[in-house]
Amino acid sequence: MAVTILAIESSCDDTSVAVIRDGYVLSNLIANQDIHMSYGGVVPELASRAHQANIVPVTHEAMLKAGIVAEDVNAVAFTRGPGLLGSLLVGTSFAKGFALALNIPLIEVNHLQAHVMAHFILDDAKDNRVPSFPFLCLLVSGGHTRIIVMKSHLEMEVIGNTIDDAAGEAFDKCGKVMGFTYPAGPLIDKLAGEGNKNAFKFAKPYVKGLDFSFSGLKTSFLYFLRDRLKEDSDFIENNLADLCASLQNVITTILIQKLIKAAEQTGIKEIGIAGGVSANSGLRKGMIDEADKKKWNIFIPEFRYTTDNAAMIGITGYYKYLRGEFSGQDVIPLARF
Ligand code: KG4
Ligand code: ZN
């Protein structure tokens, strides 16, 4: 019998609901929240209120698009964390209510695990090649930068982590300094395409092992601009594309160099990237070039599965369903794991 999972993602500022059947996406809807734009970042209280307003209509739409009714759902998967507590609470409460009303299992999902699991999403509109194990994955999202070894669908080991800011934060914070709204990553990526990546040099931090550090880069970017602005008050506007290209180049170089090191240390050639920053065109291209040189079997997710989406929660929920890993109605969201 087919297994149909309803999946809910509400960890940050996107309300997303997906329907997954036997690993295939039937629908995956995302309601973005524009309300945060004028504040320069996500306002937690506003995010949870917007989730409350969105969750019922988005679920309704996702089921309609998938061509299912509530009784077709075998289990409800939801993001337990990490994320904004108020936002997580909305998705968790909704998932609990749905599961309780239909008397079906409830499945908690770790958002970070789900980003990596996005590589196992099946979708009629894409190439459904999936990694084999062990799989080495660089997870780069707004709040996390990790190198992960996946040993099976649900078994992961973190072998590298950031000691301060995440790569996504480096994009967002440096973007803010240039006057961009949150999230700045996509705009930096777009402008970088028109700039010279070697125009400006920013120091790469030395961090031992497989760990990362991005806070020094943010500070050096800030000081660099402060000094140049003293000489030319229009320095940012006059050099925007080159600044974006140079910044993107240093961030993606740091990421790729560590991933190369991890590949050498582990001997794994099955390699991928995941999370919001994996939408970055410089990182995607850099990974493809490296894979070519190193003969890696490379996995670059489709754009729609890089940033936050419920399909990744659904695919993780599907594998947990097959293993009978269910949660009780007493489960509570966790801001941190
Ligand atoms: O995975 P995600 O959607 O949310 C979290 O779980 O955090 O990642 C969001 C992050 C933000 O920092 C955003 O600036 C970054 O992903 N991002 C990008 C691009 N698209 C999204 N960064 C660089 N280039 C992009 N094209
Ligand atoms: Zn995410």
DSSP secondary structure string for all residues of 246-277: HHHHHHHHHHHHHHHHHHHHH---EEEEESGG
- Pocket flag, ligand 1, residue 168 (CB < 6 Å): yes
Distances (CA, A) of 318 to 17, 23, 261: 14, 7, 33
Bridge partners of residue 24, in order along the sequence:
21, 122
Q: How many whole angstroms from 237 Cα to the centroid of ligand 2?
A: 31
Alpha helices for the chain (secondary structure H): 44-66, 85-102, 111-117, 167-177, 185-192, 215-231, 235-238, 240-266, 281-294, 310-322
Model confidence, pTM: 0.96
> Which residue of 15, 141, 182, 278 sits with most ligand 1 atoms within 8 Å of its CB, as the best mutation to test the pocket?
141
143: Cβ–Cβ under 8 A, 6 or more apart, which residues?
82, 166, 168, 169
In this predicted structure, what is the pLDDT of residue 85? 97
Q: How many whole angstroms from 192 Cα to the centroid of ligand 1?
A: 15
Place of tokens 């050639």: 269
Contact, 88 vs 96, CB < 8 A? no
In this predicted structure, what is the pLDDT of residue 26? 98
In this predicted structure, what is the pLDDT of residue 41? 79
Bridge partners of residue 259, in order along the sequence:
none
> Which residue of 277, 278, 313 sits with most ligand 1 atoms within 8 Å of its CB, as the best mutation to test the pocket?
277
Written as six digits, the tokens of 193 are 């395409």
Measured CA to CA, the distance from residue 64 to residue 93 in angstroms comes to: 22
Q: Residue with the nearest Cα to atom 23 of ligand 1? A: 185
Written as six digits, the tokens of 329 are 């109605």
Measured CA to CA, the distance from residue 300 to residue 304 in angstroms comes to: 11
Q: How many whole angstroms from 141 Cα to the centroid of ligand 2?
A: 6
Place of tokens 């990526």: 189
Nearest in space to 311 (alpha carbons), one of 59, 54, 10, 16: 16
In this predicted structure, what is the pLDDT of residue 49? 95
Measured CA to CA, the distance from residue 193 to residue 46 in angstroms comes to: 33
Distances (CA, A) of 235 to 178, 195, 295: 10, 14, 42
- Pocket flag, ligand 1, residue 189 (CB < 6 Å): yes
Q: If residue 282 lies in a helix (H) or strand (E), which one and from where to where?
A: helix 281-294
Contact, 188 vs 144, CB < 8 A? no
In this predicted structure, what is the pLDDT of residue 32? 86
**Mean pLDDT, 10 residues at a time, over the chain (337 residues)?**
97 96 98 81 90 97 98 98 97 98 98 98 95 98 96 97 96 95 95 98 92 95 96 97 98 98 98 98 98 98 96 98 98 94
Q: How many whole angstroms from 274 Cα to the centroid of ligand 2?
A: 9
Written as six digits, the tokens of 102 are 């239909």
